[in-house]
Structure 1
Amino acid sequence: MARAPVFLALLCLTDFALAGGADGRKMVGVYELKKGDFSVKISNWGATIMSIVTPDSKGNLADVVLGFDTLGEYVNDTSYFGPLTGRVAQRMARGRFVLDGKVYHTYLNDGKNAIHGGHRGFSKVIWTVKEYVGGGDSPYITLYYRSFDGEQGFPGDLDVYATYELSSPYVLSIRTNATALNKATPVNFLQHVYWNLGGQGSGDILGHTLQLSASRYTPMDEELLPSSGRVDPVAGTNYDFLAPTPIGARIRKVKGGNVFGYDINFVIDGEGMRKVASVRDGKSGRGLELSANQPAMQLYTGNFLNNTKGKDGNVYNQYAGFCLETQAYPDAVNHPEFPSITVRPGQVYKHDMVYKFSY
């Protein structure tokens, strides 16, 4: 049942024109979901996860998500701290694709390429709060966005919903779906949260132990595109996380573009909803297990963070956080050998994620 929104903070943005003849003026808020000592703050600006507070092995609470203190900083963010990105997340070569014989050009915002849906992708728009229940047994919020035909160059109108819900013990589920209304269109979402299980601002994540359910990966070129179209085994490479391995064990042996660190797509073993990754921070005792229903996941280790001012006066530098971004294969629109991300009129794209915390 819908409940009147309770804002922790409000910001009125007037510089962003909205679709459908809206007046370009809409309220942005921060909404808290709380269950005992487990709490999550979410904004309808970009469907952004702003904080997740959970206990460590001694019962001490900490926010394990990198981010900012104010909504204004999220509006100007270039690091993608916590939003839901789309219509097509990750990089798209030259911002171009062909669908049903027609060539489409999207907005270029990563050099010669497009990334995360363009300069005004889903992470840079105001979502409508459809339902919000901040407490109780299953606190949740449902956000909605209508992406219009031609937005950032993508074809067709798209109805998008994202629901964030807490359950016990210490579980956050994210359920997203998108319905193509009148034209075929590519769709690929991802949640771009930066994690540090020691607590944001506590240092680097190189000592976190990571295990992935991924025996294959897609090699990337210097532009961080899977230009070869290959899918290679991780065995014998620096991308092998089949056994629990410190993130920093081989990080100086790999490059994400022109810097050292992981920025690579893994192909997740199996199908349907299954375990993707597990991470543990030995110092705090916090653990995180991620399950999802997508075919792939991007591991990013905050390689480009550089004196980035964050929450509570903290400064984030390289490797201050890591991202586990479940997704379709990157640049799938330009690789027919990859699983298709085309959604046709009346079809529904579904992307579900479950984050289970332990200590």
Structure 2
Amino acid sequence: MKKIPFLLTALIGFCIFSCSKTNQEEKMISTISKETFGELPDGQKAELYTLTNGNGMTVNITNYGGIITKLTAPDKSGAWTDVVLGFDSLAPYLKENPFFGALVGRYGNRIAKGKFKLNGQEYSLAINNGPNSLHGGKKGFDKVLWKATEIKQDSVVGLQLEYLSKDMEEGYPGNLTVKVTYTLDNDNALSINYHATTDKPTVINLTNHSYFNLTGLKRDILNHEVTLVSDSIVPVDKNLIPTGKLRAVEGTPFDFRKSVKISDGISKTDEQLENAGGFDHCWVIKRTEPGLMLFATVKEPESGRKMEVFTTEPAVQFYTGNFLDGSLKGKNVTYVKRFGFCLETEHYPDSPNQPQFPSTVLNPGDTYNTTTKYRFSAN
């Protein structure tokens, strides 16, 4: 057997190492691209941005409403599939969108009777949810066009959205300057950072309203297994407004401290479930550490998909698609009841009218700054 000269062996080894390193580096390249998504009634163009990480995960975001229109996650076989409810074009988002993927503000969740007092002055908001104001009013942040800036750095790509919410827009005081930054990394995590300043005292509670379905939009979400780091919820009345007191989850259908299948929790009898038609409540996060903390884990057994959610916020609204009724269709799927779930990180609902709740007041000179991260994997 002829021996390969040492120099040639070394050269071959170097080439293998070099090529392997090059392929690895190429695999880790993240990209962002842009295309026209559609036209608004006033003639302005909405853009659709596609963020892709080095593993092949993609997230589509439009600067109309900061809406996440698509997000792919891997299953246990390595296949990437869209796991958020939404539409393939802009037009349905302009008509009757139940906040699919939306960037919600100026105030996420409900404010009772659309009124609150701040520094002795009463403010009246648009009523758009029974007797209440919901998710910023009739034209909240989900229905405006944001200024978009692409972000590219190393293995992270992102999109920064900026919007000036003018004084008394939808009834809220103060010129509010908002920046929301979406970033996608090679850990298959989408992070959302919310930043805002104001020139007058105001209230603010920003969140994202994506509806997830880890089956890959194949069936309802009742078999999803959910864990929440929370000892209590914010109970609500029949108009879904907080009663003002917290309720311990122990011994109730709201106890997700250990993994619970959604169908098991939602099938139980409880006045709170009846009031909301299912889960549509605010869980108070039990903080074990400051800053960004893992508080929710959701698993879908058949696909093996897992979603972990981290936040700096004090609470989360867990919603199980109670009001989806089959009247909407997108991505070749009919959105029936329980077809998606939401984990909307937030402050408590109706906080401006509940002084015992953590404050949502933002004053001039202060900065609103929160972060939420969604990380996807499979096993």
Same-fold call, TM cutoff 0.5: yes
Residue identity opposite 1:68 in structure 2: F
**How far has the Cα of 1:75 moved from its partner?**
1.5
Q: Give the match for residue 8 of structure 2.
A: none
Counterpart secondary structure, 1:81 = coil
Q: Give the match for residue 184 of structure 2.
A: 166
The one of 346, 360, 371 aligned to 1:341: 360
**How far has the Cα of 1:60 moved from its partner?**
1.7
Do the aligned partners of residues 257 and 87 (structure 1) sit closer, same or farther apart at CA in structure 2, a change above 3 Å counting?
Answer: farther
The one of 131, 134, 139 aligned to 1:120: 139
Contact 2:309–2:372 (Cα < 8 Å) also in 1? yes
2:36 paired with 1:9: yes
Residue identity opposite 2:263 in structure 1: G
2:231 paired with 1:215: yes
**How far has the Cα of 1:250 moved from its partner?**
2.2
Instruction: Name which of structure 1's ranges 206-215 and 265-274 shifts more when overlaid on structure 2.
Output: 265-274
Structure number with the higher helix fraction is: 2
Q: Give the match for residue 251 of structure 1.
A: 266
**How far has the Cα of 1:70 moved from its partner?**
0.9
Identity %: 38
Q: Give the match for residue 330 of structure 1.
A: 349
**How far has the Cα of 1:77 moved from its partner?**
3.0
Counterpart secondary structure, 1:250 = helix
The one of 94, 102, 116 aligned to 2:113: 94
Residue identity opposite 1:66 in structure 2: L
Note the residue ranges of structure 2 that are not aligned, 5 or more in a row: 1-31
Mapping for residues 194-233 of structure 1, pairs under 5 Å:
194-200=211-217, 202-226=218-242, 228-233=243-248
Residue identity opposite 2:249 in structure 1: V
Separation (CA, whole Å) in 1 of partners of 2:150 and 2:254: 41
**How far has the Cα of 1:54 moved from its partner?**
1.8
Contact 2:202–2:363 (Cα < 8 Å) also in 1? yes
TM-score (norm 2): 0.87
2:191 paired with 1:191: no
TM-score (norm 1): 0.92
Which structure has the larger Rg?
A: 2
Separation (CA, whole Å) in 2 of partners of 1:132 and 1:11: 22
2:331 paired with 1:312: yes
Deviating above 4 A after TM superposition, structure 1's stretches of 4 or more consecutive aligned residues are: 254-259
Separation (CA, whole Å) in 2 of partners of 1:104 and 1:304: 29
**How far has the Cα of 1:190 moved from its partner?**
1.1
Note the residue ranges of structure 1 that are not aligned, 5 or more in a row: 16-24
**How far has the Cα of 1:72 moved from its partner?**
1.0
Separation (CA, whole Å) in 2 of partners of 1:310 and 1:172: 26
Do the aligned partners of residues 265 and 150 (structure 1) sit closer, same or farther apart at CA in structure 2, a change above 3 Å counting?
Answer: same
The one of 283, 299, 319 aligned to 1:266: 283
**How far has the Cα of 1:320 moved from its partner?**
0.3
The one of 41, 57, 70 aligned to 2:76: 57
